Structure 1
Amino acid sequence: MTDTTGTLDEALERLHASGPERDGRLTNHAPMAVEALVRHGQAAAVHRWLDHYADKLEEPPPPYAPVTADGWREALGDPARITDWTRFFARELAEHPWRAVLAEWWPRLLPGIAAGATHPVIRTGHAVRTLLASPEGDADSGPRLAELAHALGYWAARHQPLPPLAPLAAAPSAAAALDAVPPVPEQDGGIRHRLAQLTAFPVWGDAPDPDTARARLTELVAAATHRYATHGHGEPTMLVHAATAPNAVLRALPALPRALWAPSLSAAWAASAAVTAAYTPVEAAPYEATSLTPEEVFARAAAHGDDHTIKFTDTALDVGGPLALAAAVRSVELNAPVFR
């Protein structure tokens, strides 16, 4: 959906005075949530939502030293350089087409897809979708290009690869692969502690060509979304990322060279499996089907107000179908509402 209200650009301009995190490491979800709200016809709710979210926004950290085209490797994965990285990408996007910048940096950033609890890649996916959906095609909207700079800068600053992983038995489908992911031994603590325990994943997702990679990535997003209906209770907030992270990659594919589609699938599978391993519950739980339409389901998520619920419902609507809608309703039930 194209935003004809101007609300998205207004919201992004408002948010770009803030950093991507608060309280040391918690992610600023507002840019992603407002993009989803506008996309699904809830532009009128955006500024009220932002007003309520405002106390979770912090100023960006001070700059340290400029990131350069020749010296970027020393700054990769340094969260103290968030502002330096954002300014670097702002310069790059001012001097080069945004698709060219994305194509150059995507393979450099992809190994760190799970960094920041996958939020940087999710923010990047929302930013790319916005640019692709613009009336100009190759959008030159200042706020939208700035949003891509913020997203890529956050990803670069938080970049951290997963530990080395051994292959387990091959799985025949994305759903079977997620079911076969072994949970980490210590199911407590933050995500960094959990991801450090990863040792092995089932083999799944090899793609002989770009079109197969896209089809399997679509399958993965659907499988992770469906799985939330029965397993989201394990950790209702964190498990949404098993679906929203690979969907962010899927959203970026149309803007990327086809040669990057297969490695994108591999990284997306690693991210989805990592979140699943970190938070999956011991047993599945029952869920109820819903008779609500997609529009009604998203309206319910918007009225609920939780940022993760809004973003997961956005992904569920991308997947479509009764089980995805039931999973979205389940996220509304499991996560604490913002508006009461």
Structure 2
Amino acid sequence: MNDSGTLEEAYGRLHRTGPEFDGWLSNHGPMAVESMVRHGYGREVHRWLDTYVGRLDELPRGISPIGAEDWREALGDPNRLGDWLTYFDRELREQPWRAVLETWWPRLLPGIAAGATHGVIRTGHAIHALLRQQDERRLAELGQALGYWAARWQAIAGFDAPSGTAEPERAFAGVPRVPDQSKGINHRLEQLAGISGWGSALAALEPAADAEQARAHLTRLADAATLRYVTHAHGNPVMLVHTATAPTAVLRALPALPADVWGASLNAAWAAGAAVTAAYAPAEPAPRRDLPAVPGSAEEVFELAVRHGDEHVIKLADTALDVYHRTDDPDALAAVVRAATLIRPFFS
């Protein structure tokens, strides 16, 4: 069986399940299997799914069809998840997928916090798969991803275009922490509007002058978040993965998007990374002496992630390998080892 066929079969199994389970947890299956197949681990996919799908919920049913004129009322309503899945399934059957994306990406982008950023992350993985090959199941996966994003659409307080001079590394360092870190992400994000310095921290990033600069800034944003994970992961090793994987998802979507939305895409990715950082970053970074040794090769790192099995470790490894190939910084590989050390193994 070739890897392409493995991905189609995996999508077929996963599309019988919903984008969430246990009430609000995100179904990471499509993102993890896309990463595994692309990195040459297709032979491991079905064994992994045999365990993973048992925790998932059934595909949700709709309440009332969403039309071209009333979509705004349903945006961000998780009770309409089934309706949104049906809507995008229909849209992608009737129109070219790039046309659907051109219409909906700008509408969804301000709500990039959707599902703790999993809406945009799943969409980025789906686009990445479609850019390599277009078929019915990959189109269906894009529809599921967009539907999930629309249903969980959530804006970030203070979301606006940055206007500062800071590079991503310094901009992340200037993000304040939410005062009450006792509950989940929604409670934490609700505090952003009242944090002193949050607005100025969001504005601090240097804006992009054009589309190519937006791509370059977005690349550096993903790099900085991945490298920062090594020393800050102990704040919350699962949630802080998304500071790196959300910008990466946006970066991978750019080739399918009109250049005139690249700047807004950078701004939204920065807001998402900053929001998750504010919500979960630790008070102090870990001392270098407490950090894991750097592994021998990038290939060894992804194998480690697949052996570990946790979906977040797999997704981080997928991003970290991109970062390592761009930067040659061994901390990109160490980030995966750090995640595998702090996050409970999937097959334990």
TM-score by length of 1: 0.95
Alignment of 1:18-37 (within 5 A): 18-37=17-36
Q: Which residue of 2 aligns with 1:309?
A: 313
2: CA distance, partners of 1:16 / 1:32:
12
- Cα offset for 1:19? 0.4
Cα deviations by residue, 1:268-325 (Å, 9 ceiling, x for unpaired)? 0000000000000011112234132111100000000000110011000111131111
Instruction: Find out whether 1:174 has 2:168 as its counterpart.
Output: yes
Q: Which runs of 4+ in 1 moved over 6 A?
A: 166-169
Bigger mean CA deviation after superposition, 281-290 or 74-83: 281-290
The DSSP-based 3-state class of the residue aligned with 1:17 is coil
> Mean alpha-carbon deviation: is it higher for 158-167 or for 36-45?
158-167
Q: What is aligned with 2:270?
A: 269
Distance verdict in 2 for CA 1:224–1:101, change over 3 Å:
same
Aligned partner of 1:130 in structure 2 is 129
1:113–1:159 contact (8 Å) kept in structure 2: yes
Q: Separation in 2 of the partners of 1:4 and 1:24?
A: 32
What is the number of equivalent residue pairs in this alignment? 333
For 2:141, the equivalent position in structure 1 comes to: 147
Aligned pairs for 1:327-338 (under 5 A) are: 327-338=335-346
Letter in 1 for 2:273: S
2: CA distance, partners of 1:309 / 1:178:
22
Match status 1:250 vs 2:251: yes
Which consecutive residues of structure 2, in runs of 5 or more, have no partner in the other structure? Answer: none
Q: Which of 189, 195, 218 is 2:189 aligned to?
A: 195
Question: For the structure 1 residues 252 and 5, does the alpha-carbon distance in structure 2 shift closer, same or farther, using more than 3 Å as the test?
Answer: closer
Q: Which residue of 2 aligns with 1:75?
A: 74
In structure 2, the partner of 1:94 is 93
* 3-state SS, counterpart of residue 116 of structure 1: coil
Question: How many Å separate the matches in 1 of 2:164 and 2:283?
Answer: 22
* CA deviation after TM superposition for structure 1 residue 56, in Å: 1.4
**Which residue in 2 is equivalent to 1:297?**
301
Residue type of the alignment partner of 1:334: L
Contact 1:205 1:213 in 2 (8 A): no
What's the CA shift for 1:62?
A: 1.6
Letter in 2 for 1:70: E
TM-score (norm 2): 0.93
Taking a change above 3 Å as real, the CA distance of residues 291 and 23 of structure 1, as seen in their structure-2 partners, is closer
CA distance in 1, matches of 2:283, 2:14: 39
Q: What are the Cα deviations for residues 83-114 of structure 1, in whole angstroms up to 9, with x where unaligned?
A: 11111111111111111111110000000001
Instruction: Tell me which amino acid in the other structure corresponds to 2:136.
Output: G
Letter in 1 for 2:337: V
Q: Which amino acid aligns with 1:174?
A: P
Aligned equivalent of 1:183, options 177, 181, 189: 177
Where in structure 1 are there 5+ consecutive unaligned residues? none
Letter of the aligned partner of 1:291 in structure 2? Answer: P
